[in-house]
Structures are given as structure tokens and as C-alpha cells.
Structure 1
């Protein structure tokens, strides 16, 4: 919201307070002033000139030589290239020595041989944005009305000596989307009175109700509609002061009738619309929902296709305005308009928002309806507009208004106690101080045993509960005056939960292992949403997706990580180790919202160990990925409870993929991307893993125990077993550990052989077994006894034979 300092001072006595000081006070009261702009900053030496003569430049077709009276003894000669310059005009003249925006200095010059002593200026050359200049002056110089005097300061006439405060309003403070609303706010801050405009409408004998009938079909969307009629208007430019104020507020002037409706919008915060009564096509206004597919041409001459979600103002047959958004071309006020119907209505903000969004028609009016207008200002705004049209358009106002519908105009009553105010704010305010704050806010208040019963004006629709009153007291008392207090009650030391601590452990471990953290979108396409999912669920689609590529919530992190790998490979970054801790979303039957589950995923590709010349480079493989996970499980104290089992997963290599189980429950997988999938994504050989974190983090673990360094030697036995090719090494390892008992401390695979020295359909797997007793030195007899039991168990349960 832009606020003209000079305009504001008409409603509140500012006592000449500097604009920056006022801005500071407003900011301290809770509404941020984002900036203060001096409209004519840097401009000097610009006066009003009277063009006495205009002649064609002898040496240039597009230049004119003008004799201009600038209030000095003799007229000055100025060469002007504006197409609309003419004899008799009052114009803005930058004299020799004047300075224009951008530190542009005016000097004496010769243009094609003719002397030029100054410059006749357009509004753009005086620092006004092109979009704010009236169309008739957008291509040339600005022409003043004839009641200005040559030599006067042009900046004063154009209101360029004004300062504009830009308020950064939050959505709840729609009351300050008007000059009167800001006046109430500033008056409360400065403890001043608000001077409202005096409305005196001289009415004709004819009555409005004889000219127009209003009916409302969509009463929920439009509870009340007020119509007034002004006849015998003469369309022309609005007064210069009004044009200047509109431009200062960021609105382009059009003509006196349209400018008056915009002026009221800024003054009262109530959007109005002016219809050409003779172009309405009937003597009635009907407010209804549009029909699906109904066509309507708005003021910008664009044909709009409406739906039943849009509210339409009609003449009983066809639309004449899209309610609260934009009028129709068929009822537009034009140069030949003589009779005007003024609309002042209360429209449902959600309905206006829907139409504004659907048609891309964001306007000053729609913004106010969306945030809420004061229903108690509807009649006053219509009367004030009628008064100004009579004054500045020469019209006659018909008697009375036509009012259709009704709306609750009763103000809300909200209560708060003195005890709550002081408890929440940490203050020691007295009842009289609080009452004074409500008086400054123009809130009616009654005090009953230190309870304040406050009647809140309808202009402050944001105040509905006691906490809102607490905020009002706090900001008017002054946030910088609130004492510093220490929280009361039990205090607890900060710290991470066990879950958070383990999540941090995971991140630190993987980063220590050489992984980089990735953060990817949780939104994906329908196809990708179901790839690599640990649990098969129906994907969840967004109600309003940004695009088809981001329309579904993911069930797995891996598709996004593969996208990162592909992106980097395409840019010749071939060696990557990435991980992400993020959420996936699982749809639950009968539940409105999905379950959010945290997963860990990783991707490794390229070289795992790189040596420039000293040694051999080592490429990432399945055992690198598996080894990283084993290290992580060991860090979490769960390694002995985790098992890797062969698995087949869509999109993964069938012979290099393992399911990961914790205490027999599957929690994820690790393996190589299927070669065809890698080819489709144009990536190198890549290894992936994904795990559910909740089972890992909630699993109970035993406290860390320490053992003394062994004083007795261990005994190692190596065995090479011949088994069927389909027997897994993991199964053999389980048998060995079970049969080895307490003396067996470690089992490792160190060789695998298949070839000409082994029977077809068989393979040789070699294990190293370490036996150890912390209490004594083992004898050969003790080791042989246990070792023979291991071999017997392998033969019995897996058909394993010692390789000769």
C-alpha cells in the first residue's frame, strides 16, 4: 500500500512530523514501512509555461519552435519535438539550469540551427512511470488545465513535492488498504483524532428505485449490493490534484468518472464500479453464478470463458461485469456516457479470488475483496462517489439508493482480562493505561472487574479473539517498551533425541566414508514414483501439481539419486558417492494423509580408490557398497543382527543384488543397477542401496562392553569346501558359526573357485576360521573336536565336502 504523506495529513494532523520519523513510528507499531520515496527528488528549476506561439522548425519536419511565457520579463524560445505541443497550452518547462531525474542538466542549445532555451517536459521526463501516465499524454508532453499561472512551480501542481510511504502489509491488516484505514492507525499511534470526509449529496427529485431494480441470486457470494445513479455527467479529465494522487498511489488516470471510483477505492478501501446506464441493456441488475462455458468480454476486450465458480453481474440476460474483478466492455463508461450507475457491493473473497486466479486478472479491487472490506463503508463509499461525480463531472444525483440483500453490520465484542494482558506481555499495566490504548484505537471499551469488554469496529475484521487484543495493546504500548523476562516454569536442557543422534551418526559416518549428501525433490512422475519402492503402494497424486514431472509423492529416494548420477555423468563427472536421508510417502487404506517414512539411500559409481601413479585404481563394486553398509551397521551396534540375502528386484542386476534383513525383517537392499536400466539412463556402472531408518534406529542394542587384550594365542584353520553352485556362502557361514560355538571367534571367506579342476555344477569356497579361548591356551585336541563338528555340520546341512 502506497500512502501519500500530503493526502494522509488531510485526515490526521501530523504536526509537520518528518515522513521518516512517521515511518519509524508506524514500523515500531507493527506495520513495516518498506521505504519512503520523495517523488520529485533531484528535480529543480521546472516551472509552468504558457505556449504563446508554435511554428514549424524550418530545418526539421518533426520539430516545432515555440515561444513560451515562463513568468519572466520576456518569453523564451524552446524547440520541442512532442507531437501534441500547441499554441495556448500550459506545460511543464525545465528552464536553463534546471535538473531532471538522473542528474540531467538543461543547458542552452541549438537544434538544427534554432536556439532552444529550456525543455518542454513530458511526465515521464519528470520521473513518473510510463504506465501511470494517462493515455492522451503517454506519447507527448503533459498539458495543464488553464487555471494555472506561468512561472509557478510545476512540481507543486503535479504533487511531486509529496512523499510516499510504502507499507508492507500482512494479509490480516486489510484495514490499512485505504487512506482512512491508515489514518485510524496513525491517529492511534500519535493519539490524534481522525477527520473523515464530509459527505453532502444534493439529490434530484427523481428516485434511483424508479430507474434500476437489483436482485441477488447468489446470496452467499454477494450478501449485499448497493446501486446509485448519477445523470447528466460530462466525461472529461479529472482534476489535476486527483490525477496526481492516483499516480502517487500507482494508479493510471483515465477520466473523471473512472478516476473517482479509483479514488474512493483508495480513500475508503471499498472497490466501486461505474456502469454506463444506457449501455446496460435493461433496467435491472441480477447477480448470479456464471454458467459453465458462458462467454464474457471484459474491459480489456478479452473474451473469457466462465464457469459456475465465477460470480457474474448481469442485466438479467447477459453479463456486464465479473464481480469484484473487472467490468464488461458492453457497459464501459466512454466519452459519450451521460448516465452512470455506481455499484458498491460486498463480494465473497474466495469467489473473487477464484475468478481473479482463473483469468489472471489481479487488480486493486480484487486484492481488497480477497482480504476483506468493511461492510459499514458500502453506503458511505457510494454516496461519496456520487458527491464527487456531481462536483467534478457536473452530474445530478438521483434520490436514494437501491439496496438488495443484507449483511450483519454489528461489530464483534471481544473480552480480555488485565491479568492475561500483563501475564502474556510481562508488563505491569494499569487498567487506565489499557483503556487509553483502546480509546486511541477508537475501540469502545467497558471495564468490569479488570475485564475489558471491547466492541471492535467492523473495519478491524482481523480482531476476533482475546489474543488479538493482547497484540493491539502490545504494539500501541510499544514493543520496545516491553520488559525482558525470563520464561517461568520447569526448564530442561537441550539435546538430541536418540533418533536424532543416530541420524546424525549415519550422516557423519557416510561423509567420513567419502559420500556427499544430496537433497532431491520428494515430488516425481507417476512412473518414477513406483520404481525401487521397498513397499508396493498406490502412489499419491497432488491436487495441484506444478507439472506432470512433479505430480506424485515418491515411494523411493533412488530414482532421484539416479537422476543426480545421470546429470553428473553427462558433465564428465564419472566418480560419485552420494547419499540422502529423506522421506518417502506411503498411502494408508482409509487414511486421509499418507504415512511419512524416513529412508537412507546411496549411489556409488566410478572409482572408489584413485591413485595417480603410485598404485592401482579400484573401481566401485558390490562389495564396496556392502562394506560401507557393514561399517554403518557396526557403528550402530547391529552388525551381528544383519544378514544379506540374494534377491531379485526390478531395475537391479539379478546376480548382484541382496536384500538386507535385520533380525529376520527385510529393511532394504543393496546391489548394482541393471545394465539395461543404466543404458537407458546413460550412466556408468552404478551401485545402490536403500534402507528404512526407523527399524535401525529403534532396534534395542546392548551397551558397549570392552574386553581385555588377549593373553593367549588363537588357532586358525583354513578349509576349502566343494558345494553345489547354487549354495550361497552366507548359508555356509551361518552353519559354521552355529557349529563353532563359543570357541569360534571369526569366519571369513577368502577364495572362490570354479573351473576345470572342479566337477561341473560345483564350486570351491575357502573359509578362514579363528578359534580362541580368553581363559587359556587351546590344545590341538580341543580345536580338532570343535573343527570336526563344524565339518560334520557342513556336510549334513549343505552337502559340503572338503576339497582334496
Structure 2
């Protein structure tokens, strides 16, 4: 909501309060002022000039040579290129030395050989947005009314010596979507009175009921409808002050009748609509729900197809307006309009919202109906509009009002005690102060023995319960006046739990390894919910999903993570490394909340290692991903307890996938996506992992022991063992380690051979074994003894033989 400071002063005495101070006070009481804009900031030296003469520039077809009276001194010559400049006009002139927006300084100049002493300005050149300028002046200079005083400040005449406050309203404060609503708020803050607008006018002997009748069929959607008739209207420009008020509020001026309806909309918060009575097509207004597939051409020249839940205003035969959204072209007020049929109504917000959304029409009127208008202002707004039409359109108001009114509005009455208010706020406010605050807000209040009976005006539809009254007292008393207190109980410094520390360690390790953290949706589709899940479970469905794509709680993080990988690859990111720590949801049966378990997932594709200078490139593969996980397990003290077992999993590559076990318990998997899945998702070769993080971080691990660096040399022995192809190298390494005893400190595999020098179905695995004793230098005999035990054990368990 844009609030003109000068306009607001017409309703509330703001003397002694600057716009900036007012913005601060409003913000402190709960409505955020998002911006304070001074309209004439950076502009100076602009006056009203009178064009005495105009002739064609001798050396340019599109330029005119004008003689302009600036109100003092001799008239000056100004060269102007505006197509609508003419003799006798009153115009805005930036004199020599003037400054326009953007720090544009006006100097004497010669244009095609002719001297120019200033600049005749358009409104855009004075800082007004082009979309707010009336159509007749949108491509040329602005022309003042003929009674404008030559030589006076043009900015003052255009109301640009004003400051606009932009209010960031929350949905419950729709009462401040009007100048009067803001006035009541400011008056309460400043402890001032509100001056209401003038509503008086003269009526003719003719009766409005002889010209029009009102019939409402959709009473639920339209409980109140008021019509007034104004004859002998002269369509023309609205007064300049009204145009500038509308522009300051972000609305473009059109003509006096339309501008008056928009002005009252901003003033009262009550949308109005003006029909051309002679084009209306009948003497009957019928408000009903539209027929399915019924059509109307709206004011924007668009043909719109209606649904049977759209509320329409009709002439008894066809729609002439979509209620509360936009009028129809067939009854539009035009230049030759002489009789105006004025509508003021109370429409159901839900109905207006449906029609506005279906047609993609979001207007100032629909916004207010959706959020709720004050039912007590429906008639007052119509009275205000006809008062202005009589003054500024020469209209004659027909006697009486034709209305339909079946709205039962009961005032909201709430009882509350001073004890309740003070208890919630944690302070002591006297009963006198509380009573004063309610009265400042315009609430009727009866106080008796610290108990208040408060009657809330209809404009404040957001106040319905005791807590709303507590909030009103708090914000008007001043949030900064609420005392701050410290806890009286014994304080304990906070710290991370062991689980949280480990989780942070996981994040630091992965990000230090080059992976970026991702955060994806916990909701997915039925097709993706079970894809790549570590554990199988029934699906948990939402009762009221926003869409089918987000209707199921996920069983795995990977499908959403792969969407992120795909998104980045589609934008020429050839290296993508992502991880996410998040929850999956395992069903515990219908009617029960699902179990929420924390998972760690990662996805990597593209080059893992690149040195452009040396021309070295290493694409990611299974062993890169395995090495990444080994480093993580090492950080967590789990490396020796984790076992990798080759498996076949759905959607994973059958030869490049392993499951991870801790003491025979499945804790994750790692591998390459199946080529068909990669192709379906339009991914390059991609490796993924998912771990049961919650299980891993709650495992009991051995404490870390530090040992001194060995002072004695170690002895290494290499062995190449020939075994059956199905023997797993990890199992072989585990047996070697266990058999080597206390002297064997490290076992590393360094070669795999399959070929014609071995029997069919055999392979050779080469290991390097490192022996040492921290207490002494080992002898060959001691190492040989331990080494022979190893060879005997692998031969016994795997049928392994030394390769010759």
C-alpha cells in the first residue's frame, strides 16, 4: 500500500511529525514501512510556463520553436520536440540551471542553430513512471489546466513535493488497504482525531428507482448491492490534485468518472464500478452465478469464458461485468457518456479470488474483496463518489438509492481483564492506560473492576479473540516498553551433542573433499519414492498434496539429488559433486506417523581430478567414490569395521555396486547408476552412495590411541596368490591380517592379473605385507615364521597357491 504523506494530512493532523518519523512510529507498532520515497528528490528549478508562440523549427521537421513566459523577466525561447506542444498551453519548464532526476542539469544550448533556454518537460522527465501517466500525455509533454499560475513551482502543482510511504501489510491488516484505514492507525499512534470526508450533495426530483432495479440471485456471494444513478455527467479530465493522488498511489488517471471510483477505492478501501447507463442494455441489474461456458468481453478487450462458480453482474440477459474483478466492454464509460450507473457492493472474497485466479486478473478491487472489505463502508463509499461526481463531473444525483441488503453484521464483542493482558505481556499496564488505548483505536469500551467489554468496529475484521486485544494493547503501548528479564533458574551453557559433533565432522570432511551441500524436497512422486531406497517400506502419502509430483514422503534422498545433478548438467556444468544430509520416512502402518531416519547421500559425475597445465584428467570412477567413503569412515573411527560386498541392486550397475556392512548389518551402498537409468535421466556416468547416517553416528567406536613413530625398521614381503575368480580380495586381505599376528601391521593389495598364463577360472592377487616390532629389530626367522602361517591359512581357507 502506497500512502501519500500530503494526502494523509487531510484526515489526521501530522504537524510536527516528519515522514521519516511517522514511518518509524508505524513500524514500531507492527506495520512495516518498507520504503520512504521523496517524490521531488534531486529535482529543482522547474516552474509553470506559458507558451506564447509556437512555430516550426527552420532546420528540423520534428522540432518546434516556442516563446515561453516564465512569470518573471522577458519570455525565453525554448526548442521542444514534443508532438503535442502548442500555443496557449501551461507547461512544466526546467529553467537554465535546473536539475532533473539522474542529476541531469539544464544548460543553455543551440539545437540545429537555434538557441534554447530551458526544457519543456514531460511527466516522465520529472520522475513519474510512464505506466502512471495518462494516455494523452504518455508520448508528449504534460499540459496544466489553463488557470495554473505562470511562474509558480510546477512540482508543487503536480504534488511532487510529497513523500510516499510504502507499507508492507500482512494479510490480516486489510483495514490499512485504504487511506482512512491508515488514518485510523496513525491517529491511534499519535493520539489524534480522524477527520472524515465530505459526503453531502443535492438530489434531483427524479428517483433512481425509476431508472434501475436490483435483483440478486446469488445471495451468499453478494449479500449487499447498492446502485445510484447520476445524470448529465460531462466526461473529461479529473482535477489535477486527484490525478496526482492516484499517481502517487500507483494508479493511472483516465477520466473524471473512472478516477473518482479509483480515488474512493483508495480512500475507503471499497471498490466501485461505473457503468454507462445508456449502454447498460436494460433497467434491471441481475447478480447471479455465470452459466458454464458463458462469455464476456472485458475492459481490456479480451474475450473471457466463464465458469459456473464465477459471480457476474448482468442486465438480465448477458453479463456486463465479472463481479469484483473487471467490467465489461459493452457498458464501459466513454467520452460521450452522460448518465452513470454507480455500483457499490459487498462480494464474498472466496468467489472473487476464484474468478481472479481463473482469468489471471489481479486488480486493486479484487485484492481488497479477497482480503475483506468493511461492510459498513459500502454505502458511505457510494455517497462519497456521487458527492465528487457532482463537484467534478457536473452530475445530477437522482433521488434515493436502489439497494439489496441481506447482510447480517453483528459487532464483535470481546471481554478481557487487565490481569489477562498483563499476564500475557509480563508487565503492569494500568486499567486507565488500557482503556485509553482501546479508545484511541476507535473501539467502544466499557470498563468495570478491571474487566473490559470491547466492541470492535467492522473495519477491524482481524480482531476476534482475547489475544488480538492483547496484541493491540502491546503494540500501541510500545513493544520497546515491554521490560526484558533474565531467567532466574541456574544457567547451563549449551553445547553440541556427540551426534551433532559427528554430523558436523561429516559435513566438514565432505565439503573439504570438494562436494557441495544440497537441500532437496522431502516430497516426491509415487514413481520416484522407492527408487534407490536403502530400506523397503510402504509409501507414506499426503492427505492433501499440492501436486502429484510432491505427494509422497521419500524413502531415499538420491532421486531428488539426481534431479539437481541433471539440472546442473543441463547448464553446462560438466563437473557436479553434491551431498545431502536429510531425512527419509519409513511407514509404520496406516494411521501412524512414519519413522523419520537421517540419511547421507552423494552423487558425483564428470572429472574428479584435472591439471590443465600437465594435461592430466581423471574421471570419477567406483574407486574414487570408495576412497571418499573410506576417508569418511576413517574420520569416524569405523574404517576397519566396514565391509564392502559386491551386489546387484535395482537401478545400479551390476558390476560396479557394493553394499556396506557393519557387523553384518546393512548400513549403505555405493556404486554407479545403471546405464539405462543414466540415459533415462540424461546423465553422464554418475556414481552415488547412500548411508544410514543415523545408524553410523550412533555406533560405539573404539577410542583413538596414539603410538610413537617406530624407531626400528620394518620388513616388507610381497606375495602373489592364485585363487578362484569368485574369491573376494577383501575377504582374502582380512584373513591375512588376522593370521599375521601382532607383527603384521599393514596389508595392501597392489595387483590383479587374469590371463592365458593362469588356469581358466583363476586369478592372481598380489599383496604387500609390512612387518615390524616397536620394541626391537625383527630377524628374518621371526618374519618367516609369521609369513608361513599366513600362507598356510590362505591355502587352507581359499585354496590359494603362490604364483610361480
How high is the TM-score relative to the length of structure 1? 0.83
CA distance in 2, matches of 1:517, 1:65: 66
1:683 to 1:460, Cα distance in 2 relative to 1, 3 A: closer
Aligned pairs (5 A) from 1:635-650: 635-636=635-636, 642-650=642-650
Query: CA contact under 8 A between 1:91 and 1:143: conserved in structure 2?
Result: yes
Aligned pairs (5 A) from 1:337-736: 337-487=337-487, 492-511=492-511, 514-519=513-518, 521-522=520-521, 531-535=531-535, 555-557=556-558, 560=561, 564=565, 578-584=578-584, 590=590, 597-603=597-603, 622-633=622-633, 635-636=635-636, 642-674=642-674, 687-698=687-698, 700-701=699-700, 704=703, 724-729=724-729
Query: CA contact under 8 A between 1:276 and 1:340: conserved in structure 2?
Result: yes
Query: CA contact under 8 A between 1:558 and 1:602: conserved in structure 2?
Result: no
Q: CA deviation at 1:759?
A: 4.0
Partner SS for 1:25? helix
Once the two structures are superposed, residues 740-772 of structure 1 have per-residue CA deviations (whole angstroms, 9 ceiling, x without a partner) of 799999896747665556543345667899999
CA distance in 1, matches of 2:104, 2:732: 90
CA distance in 2, matches of 1:643, 1:114: 92
1:31 to 1:609, Cα distance in 2 relative to 1, 3 A: closer
Once the two structures are superposed, residues 649-691 of structure 1 have per-residue CA deviations (whole angstroms, 9 ceiling, x without a partner) of 2443322311223454433211234567668889776543212
Of the structure 1 ranges 416-425 and 764-773, higher mean CA displacement relative to structure 2 is found in: 764-773
Partner SS for 2:274? strand
1:359 to 1:744, Cα distance in 2 relative to 1, 3 A: farther
CA distance in 2, matches of 1:570, 1:38: 43
Once the two structures are superposed, residues 329-388 of structure 1 have per-residue CA deviations (whole angstroms, 9 ceiling, x without a partner) of 111111121222222222233333333333332222222222222121111111111221
Q: CA deviation at 1:544?
A: 5.4
1:383 to 1:729, Cα distance in 2 relative to 1, 3 A: same
Query: CA contact under 8 A between 1:558 and 1:690: conserved in structure 2?
Result: no
Partner SS for 2:439? helix
Match of 1:150 in 2: 150
Match of 2:130 in 1: 130
CA distance in 2, matches of 1:717, 1:55: 107
Partner SS for 1:345? strand
CA distance in 1, matches of 2:407, 2:316: 23
Unaligned stretches of 5+ in structure 2?
none
CA distance in 1, matches of 2:359, 2:551: 24
Of the structure 1 ranges 28-37 and 598-607, higher mean CA displacement relative to structure 2 is found in: 598-607
Query: CA contact under 8 A between 1:736 and 1:794: conserved in structure 2?
Result: no
1:263 aligns with 2:263: yes
CA distance in 2, matches of 1:39, 1:9: 16
CA distance in 1, matches of 2:669, 2:371: 52
Partner SS for 2:413? strand
Q: CA deviation at 1:396?
A: 2.2
CA distance in 1, matches of 2:681, 2:68: 75
CA distance in 2, matches of 1:650, 1:682: 18
Match of 1:235 in 2: 235
Unaligned stretches of 5+ in structure 1?
none
Once the two structures are superposed, residues 184-232 of structure 1 have per-residue CA deviations (whole angstroms, 9 ceiling, x without a partner) of 1111111111111132232233333343333334444333222222222
1:544 to 1:570, Cα distance in 2 relative to 1, 3 A: closer
Query: CA contact under 8 A between 2:257 and 2:274: conserved in structure 1?
Result: yes
CA distance in 2, matches of 1:69, 1:376: 51
Query: CA contact under 8 A between 2:179 and 2:266: conserved in structure 1?
Result: yes
CA distance in 1, matches of 2:413, 2:183: 23
CA distance in 2, matches of 1:592, 1:692: 22
Of the structure 1 ranges 673-682 and 245-254, higher mean CA displacement relative to structure 2 is found in: 673-682
CA distance in 2, matches of 1:108, 1:511: 63
Partner SS for 1:230? strand
Once the two structures are superposed, residues 254-311 of structure 1 have per-residue CA deviations (whole angstroms, 9 ceiling, x without a partner) of 1111011011011111111111122222333333333443322111101223334533
CA distance in 2, matches of 1:214, 1:53: 55
CA distance in 1, matches of 2:566, 2:351: 46
Partner SS for 1:288? strand
1:71 to 1:467, Cα distance in 2 relative to 1, 3 A: same
Partner SS for 1:278? helix
Match of 2:33 in 1: 33
Partner SS for 1:209? helix
Q: CA deviation at 1:111?
A: 5.2
Query: CA contact under 8 A between 2:36 and 2:164: conserved in structure 1?
Result: yes
Query: CA contact under 8 A between 1:733 and 1:747: conserved in structure 2?
Result: no
Aligned pairs (5 A) from 1:54-203: 54-57=54-57, 60-72=60-72, 77-106=77-106, 117-203=117-203
CA distance in 2, matches of 1:248, 1:443: 31
CA distance in 2, matches of 1:4, 1:789: 91
Query: CA contact under 8 A between 2:264 and 2:381: conserved in structure 1?
Result: yes
Query: CA contact under 8 A between 1:53 and 1:87: conserved in structure 2?
Result: yes
Q: CA deviation at 1:550?
A: 13
CA distance in 2, matches of 1:504, 1:617: 31
Of the structure 1 ranges 133-142 and 186-195, higher mean CA displacement relative to structure 2 is found in: 133-142
Partner SS for 2:534? coil
CA distance in 2, matches of 1:759, 1:278: 105
Once the two structures are superposed, residues 122-142 of structure 1 have per-residue CA deviations (whole angstroms, 9 ceiling, x without a partner) of 333333222222222223333
Match of 1:24 in 2: 24
CA distance in 2, matches of 1:511, 1:108: 63
CA distance in 1, matches of 2:684, 2:138: 61
CA distance in 1, matches of 2:53, 2:567: 74
CA distance in 2, matches of 1:581, 1:387: 65
CA distance in 1, matches of 2:5, 2:567: 58
CA distance in 2, matches of 1:705, 1:17: 69
Partner SS for 1:460? coil
1:531 to 1:105, Cα distance in 2 relative to 1, 3 A: same
CA distance in 2, matches of 1:93, 1:457: 49
RMSD of Structure 2 on Structure 1 (CA): 4.8
Query: CA contact under 8 A between 2:509 and 2:632: conserved in structure 1?
Result: yes
Q: CA deviation at 1:244?
A: 2.0
Of the structure 1 ranges 592-601 and 243-252, higher mean CA displacement relative to structure 2 is found in: 592-601
Query: CA contact under 8 A between 2:343 and 2:382: conserved in structure 1?
Result: yes
Partner SS for 1:229? strand
1:311 aligns with 2:288: no
Of the structure 1 ranges 588-597 and 144-153, higher mean CA displacement relative to structure 2 is found in: 588-597
